[in-house]
Amino acid sequence: MSITNSIKLFTEAQTLFPGGVNSPVRAFRAVGGQPLFIERGEGAYLFDVDGNRYIDYVLSWGPLVTGHAHPKVVAAIQQAATRGTSYGAPSPLELELAKSVMSFMPNIEMIRFVNSGTEATMSALRLARAYTKRDKIIKFDGCYHGHADLLLVQAGSGVATLGLPDSPGVPANTVKDTLVADFNNLDSVEALFKQYPDQIAAIIVEPVAGNMGVVPPLPGFLEGLRAITSRAGSVLIFDEVMTGFRVHFGGAQALYNIQPDLTTLGKVIGGGLPVGAYGGKREIMQMVAPSGPMYQAGTLAGNPLAMSAGIAALNLLREENCWEKLDQAAGRLEAGIASAASRAGIPIQQTRVGTMFTTFFSETKPVDWNTVKVADKILFGKFFQKMLENGVYLAPSQFESGFISTMHTNAIIDKTIAAAAEAFRTW
């Protein structure tokens, strides 16, 4: 497999962009080799600039649940573009996407569209602080909620991938009210509420952790967070930027039947265009300007192209009634990789919830950051490279999630399983 053109482009990119990329995990630092430069995506496939084809399980880090360049999503974007690319004024498209999102997630009574998941989480936390008139927030070790200063504390995703001790440039004062608890450990949460009575504005959680690799919540964990926050008068925020429409079309809140106060979204609801959103209880959302005093704004918020792509993508999910098919395809992949590893005597922990999955090279069941970080990153890198050689594009980090789309047919899944078997056979 030649990647000559990617090599040339990466050499130049390193003179233009820090590390040659515009988002750190893309640089392949955790898996060796160098990033592939992509020419186009189609269905379940990515094509690089050297003409190599890969089955794609990154899917733009989650958004592309209907695959690359779905004709209906593309048509929606094309039609929208002919009517102008941004108005800086309300459009009917915003109402349509809002109502569509709410039909999948009825806990969202009011919503505000923003441009990224980072914007969504930082705004939701500002809102929770405004609503409760408290300053402290709790996040979980290994969870990642975007790169806003107040959340870059013991974060997953790129921060964990690069082994960074969080980020310089974040003033100590900005994070002095960010408390960290252990995922799946209610005692660690209770201890913080005991230590800071009446001071905690919110808990923000990835209800299925995806940014330390996929780590499902243990039974009772999310229920416990709901009970603790209700008792303490704190806001429970489900960060469903990744899990929304991914662990279930109604997100983790539908899958586990928990009612968060606020939800943050992104990825799938933009159909592959940049978007984010936060929403939830009307009483809380009415604090947002201009109906209330909590200020948050955005020039491109509610962008007509992003709204149109999101509407088309969610319509496809609704019309095709395809959850079962997606879930089965992901289950087939999960079982196939697990059995290929077991036949080769290679210990892995294969996790999956809905369409999100991770292969951990570990003998330890992943339940939190402590049990995740012991996974063998070198072996993951080896697996990643072997899969790539066999035409399968996985997330280039042990601490990320893989994703499936409606374009991943059983035949494509079986090819992936065969690639994994081949990788393990030649281990």
Provide the minimum distance between the beta carbon of 195 and ligand HOZ in the complex, in angstroms, as a whole number.
30
Q: Establish if 119 lies at the interface with ligand HOZ (CB under 6 A).
A: no
Provide the minimum distance between the beta carbon of 425 and ligand HOZ in the complex, in angstroms, as a whole number.
30
Interface stretch with ligand HOZ, choices 23-31, 40-48, 174-182, 327-335 (CB under 6 A): 23-31
- 402 phi and psi, to 5 degrees? -95, 160
Q: What residues does 48 pair with on adjacent strands? A: 38
Q: Establish if 23 lies at the interface with ligand HOZ (CB under 6 A).
A: yes
- Our CB check for ligand HOZ shows the closer of 25 and 181 to be 25
- CA proximity to 398, closest of 355, 348, 353, 354: 348
Distance in angstroms (rounded) separating the CA atoms of residues 215 and 394: 17
Residue 20 CB partners (closer than 8 Å, separation 6+)? 10, 13, 14, 27, 35
Element of type H or E holding 414: helix 410-425
Map residues 382-421 to x or -, x wherever contact with ligand HOZ holds by CB under 6 A.
Answer: ------------------x---------------------
- Our CB check for ligand HOZ shows the closer of 136 and 267 to be 267
CB 301 within 8 A of CB 93: no
**Side-chain-facing half-sphere of 281: CA atoms under 13 Å:** 13
CB atoms within 10 A of CB 263: 30
- Our CB check for ligand HOZ shows the closer of 107 and 118 to be 118
Q: Which residue in the set 43, 63, 158, 213 belongs to the binding site for ligand HOZ (CB under 6 A)? A: 158
Q: Establish if 216 lies at the interface with ligand HOZ (CB under 6 A).
A: no
Provide the minimum distance between the beta carbon of 214 and ligand HOZ in the complex, in angstroms, as a whole number.
12
- Our CB check for ligand HOZ shows the closer of 157 and 358 to be 157
Q: Establish if 167 lies at the interface with ligand HOZ (CB under 6 A).
A: no
54, 144, 278, 393: the catalytic one is 144
List strands edge to edge, sheet with 392-393: 38-42, 45-48, 53-56, 392-393
Residue 62 CB partners (closer than 8 Å, separation 6+)? 210, 242, 246, 267, 268, 356, 401, 403
Active site residue 239: yes
Provide the minimum distance between the beta carbon of 178 and ligand HOZ in the complex, in angstroms, as a whole number.
18
- 384 phi and psi, to 5 degrees? -55, -50
Interface stretch with ligand HOZ, choices 22-30, 82-90, 181-189, 331-339 (CB under 6 A): 22-30
Provide the minimum distance between the beta carbon of 28 and ligand HOZ in the complex, in angstroms, as a whole number.
11
Q: Establish if 270 lies at the interface with ligand HOZ (CB under 6 A).
A: no
Q: What share of the chain is helix, strand, coil (3-state, %, to 5)?
A: 45, 15, 40
Write out the residues near ligand HOZ by the rule CB under 6 A. 23, 25-26, 61, 157-158, 211, 400
